[in-house]
């Protein structure tokens, strides 16, 4: 219902949610039951596929297990496997946004239609405090913006803003910037992956992959233990180009799963940064500084949640500004479309690390 949510404001049209379905490969990992439990708990449709059904739905796939994921320089990387996967878990409503930039533009115009203002290419140089409460921010140009409420939604720069505000020390869950590459390859000849493919969670190979415009396949990392992580101290200064090492790592793993995949010599894809929390779960919360709120640690898997998160943050801010002690009595937010009630304390900055987290995301 994106068009009705946004309103008739966009001359460029609306981004689309492509409901291609979401498949989780199964290999007898005990954590697989967590997905089923979660789907049942919140009422998400799912099917348990046998290996035979998985083969019918994914005829170009090698349905053997390659676990654990290995670096490409491991001498056993290309060894054949004789152990089959055990099937899959399918969610028919899973999908992806076909044009994230257009979706963001849609949201911007909708916000403007409701009185929102935007200031682009503006760097925050200071978070100002007066009498123990936020009173505004200062830009690198010297311009001051006075406001009694600031929400940190600065993505990979979130930890820098938190340090400016002096609130990082009061957070048990912190954020950092992580460099990330996502790659594109053409679907195997004779198979239309854009129309017949799904989003695949392939922790068995250490990747995820999904259809991409132009009958391509997008492949990213599922963060297996064997892969090093590239943390970035300065989000304005990181290597912005694809690397052969990561290109080969992710595409070769995909080629193990899809043997007929043709691997081009020239890498194709994008490079950017994730805003990653300690346990890879977002922080949606107040802070130790009155008036300064947190919507951080969100990169990679929260884009499609943006509209819901906006509603949740508005409710949280309203409750706290009207006297609710959110740390001791977390705000409960009823979502307008599903009617589900969210305990926002789950996203607290003061939580202990959630050991049940996947510690990865599918971007």
Query: Do residues 308 and 334 make contact, with C-beta atoms less than 8 angstroms apart?
Result: no
Question: Considering the entire predicted model, what is its pTM?
Answer: 0.93
Query: Per-residue pLDDT tens for 110-168?
Result: 999 999 999 999 999 999 999 999 999 999 999 999 999 999 999 999 999 999 999 99
pLDDT of 354 strictly over 90: no
Q: What is the 3-state secondary structure (H, E, C) of 225-263?
A: CCCCCCEECCCCCCCCCCCHHHHHHHHHHHHHHCCCCCC
**Contacts for 317 with CB less than 8 Å, ≥ 6 apart:** 149, 151, 293
What is the set of domains in the chain, with CATH numbers?
22-93+183-271 (3.30.9.10), 119-174+279-347 (3.50.50.60)
pLDDT at residue number 42 = 85
Confidence band of 101 (pLDDT split at 50, 70, 90): very high
Q: Where is average pLDDT lowest: 1-10, 228-237, 243-252?
A: 1-10
At 9 the pLDDT is 73
pLDDT at 172: 97
pLDDT at 360: 67
> pLDDT class for 31, splitting at 50, 70, 90?
confident
Cβ neighbours, 10 Å, residue 290: 16
Average pLDDT on 270-291 reads 97
**In which element (H, E) is residue 171 found?**
none
The H-assigned helical ranges of the chain are: 2-6, 32-42, 51-57, 100-113, 158-165, 193-196, 244-257, 306-321
Cα gap 335→312, rounded to integer Å:
8
What tokens does 94 get? Answer: 């899973």
Q: Each residue of 36-91: pLDDT tens digit?
A: 999 998 889 999 999 999 999 999 999 999 999 999 999 999 999 999 999 999 99
What confidence category does residue 1 fall into, taking pLDDT thresholds of 50, 70 and 90? confident
Give me the chain's average pLDDT, please: 95
> DSSP assignment, residue 330?
P
- Per-residue pLDDT for 24 more than 70? yes
Predicted local distance difference test score (pLDDT) of residue 359: 66
Calpha distance 64→302 (Å, rounded): 31
Q: Identify the pLDDT of residue 363.
A: 57
299-313 average pLDDT score: 88
Instruction: Give the pLDDT confidence score for residue 253 in this predicted structure.
Output: 98
Segment 184-217, tens digit of pLDDT: 999 999 999 999 999 999 999 999 999 999 999 9
36-51 per-position pLDDT tens digit: 999 998 889 999 999 9
């Amino acid at each position: 219902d994106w068009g009705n949510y946004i309103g008739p404001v966009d001359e460029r049209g609306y981004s689309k949610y492509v409901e291609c379905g979401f498949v989780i490969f199964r290999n007898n990992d005990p954590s697989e039951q967590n997905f089923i439990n979660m789907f049942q708990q919140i009422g998400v449709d799912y099917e348990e596929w046998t290996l035979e059904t998985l083969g019918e739905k994914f005829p170009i796939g090698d349905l053997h297990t390659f676990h654990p994921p290995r670096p490409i320089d491991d001498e056993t990387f290309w060894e054949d496997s004789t152990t089959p996967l055990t099937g899959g878990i399918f969610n028919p409503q899973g999908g992806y946004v076909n044009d994230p930039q257009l979706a963001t533009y849609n949201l911007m115009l909708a916000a403007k239609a409701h009185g929102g203002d935007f200031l682009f290419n503006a760097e925050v140089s200071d978070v100002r405090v007066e009498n123990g409460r936020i009173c505004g921010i200062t830009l690198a140009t010297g311009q001051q913006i006075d406001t009694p409420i600031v929400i940190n939604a600065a993505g990979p720069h979130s930890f820098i803003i938190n340090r400016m505000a002096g609130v990082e020390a009061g957070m048990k869950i912190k954020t950092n910037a992580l460099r990330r590459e996502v790659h594109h390859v053409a679907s195997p000849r004779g198979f239309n992956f854009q129309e017949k493919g799904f989003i695949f969670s392939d922790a068995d190979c250490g990747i995820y992959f999904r259809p991409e415009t132009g009958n391509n396949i997008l492949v990213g990392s599922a963060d297996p233990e064997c892969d090093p992580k590239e943390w970035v101290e300065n989000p304005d200064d990181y290597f912005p180009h694809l690397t052969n090492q990561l290109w080969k790592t992710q595409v070769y793993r995909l080629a193990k799963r899809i043997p007929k995949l043709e691997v081009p010599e020239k890498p194709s894809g994008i490079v950017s940064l994730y805003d990653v929390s300690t346990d890879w779960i977002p922080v949606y919360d107040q802070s130790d500084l009155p008036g300064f709120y947190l919507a951080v640690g969100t990169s990679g898997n929260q884009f499609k949640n943006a509209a819901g998160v906006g509603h949740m943050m508005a409710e949280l801010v309203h409750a706290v500004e009207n006297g609710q002690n959110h740390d001791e009595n977390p705000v409960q937010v009823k979502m307008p479309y599903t009617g589900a009630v969210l305990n926002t304390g789950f996203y607290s900055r003061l939580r202990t690390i959630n050991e049940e987290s996947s510690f990865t995301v599918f971007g």
